[in-house]
Amino acid sequence: MNASPADQTRLVEVAQLDERIRQADKARQNPPQAARVQELLARRQELSRELAERLGARDDLRTELARIESDVAVVDARAKRDSDRLAASTNSKEAQGLESEMAALARRKSDLEDAELDVMDRLEQADAAVAEQEALVAETNAEGGRLSAEGKQAVADATASFEQASRDRAAIAGSVPGDLLAMYERIAQRTTGAALLRARTCEACHMVLSGTDLHVLRQAAEDAVVTCPECGAILVRNGESGL
C-alpha cells in the first residue's frame, strides 16, 4: 500500500489519541483513589464493629453502676430507718438488734462503695476506649470523604479528556484515506497501530531495528506504507528516523 507521508503522519496522531482515549477510559472507570476508598470502607466496618462492642461494654458498666448506686440508696434508707427507730426505742433487746443490723448495713455499704469505685474506674477506661475508637472512625470517614471527592473529580477530568480525545480522533481520522485507516485499525486491534521510526527505533515496541531491516526501509519508496518487523505497527519515517 502507498500513502503520502502526511497521511501516514496523521496515523501517528490517531495512534496517540487512541492511547489517550484508552488511558482516559481506564482512569474514569477505575480512578486511582478507588482502591484506597474500598480499603477504607472495609476498615470502617471493622472499626464500627469494634466501636459497637466498646459501646456495649460501656453501657453494661453504666447499668452496673446504676444498680450499685440504687443498692447504696436502699442501704442508706434502711440505715436511716434503723437509726430513727433506735433513737426512739426504749427496748434494750430491740436496740441491740437494730445496732447489729446497722453494723451489717455499714459493712454492706462499704462493700458497695468499693465496688462502685471499681466500676467507676472501669467506666472511665471504657469512656476513653470509646472516644479513641470514635476518633479512628471519624478519621477514616474524613479520609474516605476526601478521597471520594477526589475520585469524583478524577472521573470528571478523565471523562472530559476521553470526550475531547474522541472528538480530536474523529476529526483527524476523517482526513485519512479509508484504505489506510482500515489497515491501521486492523493492526491496532493487536498492537499499536502506527508509530514513528526515530533514531532507528520503533516507538511502538521500542526495539532498535537491525541493519538488514534498516536496509529494506531505505530501499522503500517514500510513500510506501511499511511496518515494524518486530511488532507489526505501521512505521512512519521522517528526518529523525536515522535511515
pLDDT tens-digit profile of 99-119? 899 999 999 999 999 999 999
Has residue 90 got a pLDDT over 80? no
Please name the residues in contact with 50: beta carbons below 8 A apart, sequence gap of 6 or more.
133
The pLDDT value given to residue 233? 95
The pLDDT value given to residue 166? 96
- At residue 91, φ and ψ (nearest 5 deg) are -100, 115
70/65 Cα distance (integer angstroms): 9
pLDDT tens-digit profile of 11-60? 999 999 999 999 999 999 999 899 999 999 999 999 999 999 999 999 99
Average pLDDT of the chain is 94
Query: For 175, which DSSP code?
Result: T
CATH number of the structural domain 29-173: 1.10.287.1490
Question: What percent of the chain has a predicted confidence (pLDDT) above 70?
Answer: 100
The pLDDT value given to residue 173? 95
- The dihedral built from the CA positions of residue 190, 1, 217 and 174, taken in this order, carries a sign that is negative
Residue spans per domain, the chain: 5-26+176-236, 29-173
Alpha helices in 89-201 (DSSP H): 92-173, 178-188
Put simply, whether the predicted model's pTM sits higher than 0.75 gets the answer no
Has residue 85 got a pLDDT over 90? no
The pLDDT value given to residue 92? 81
Which residue's entry shows cell 512505521?
Answer: 235
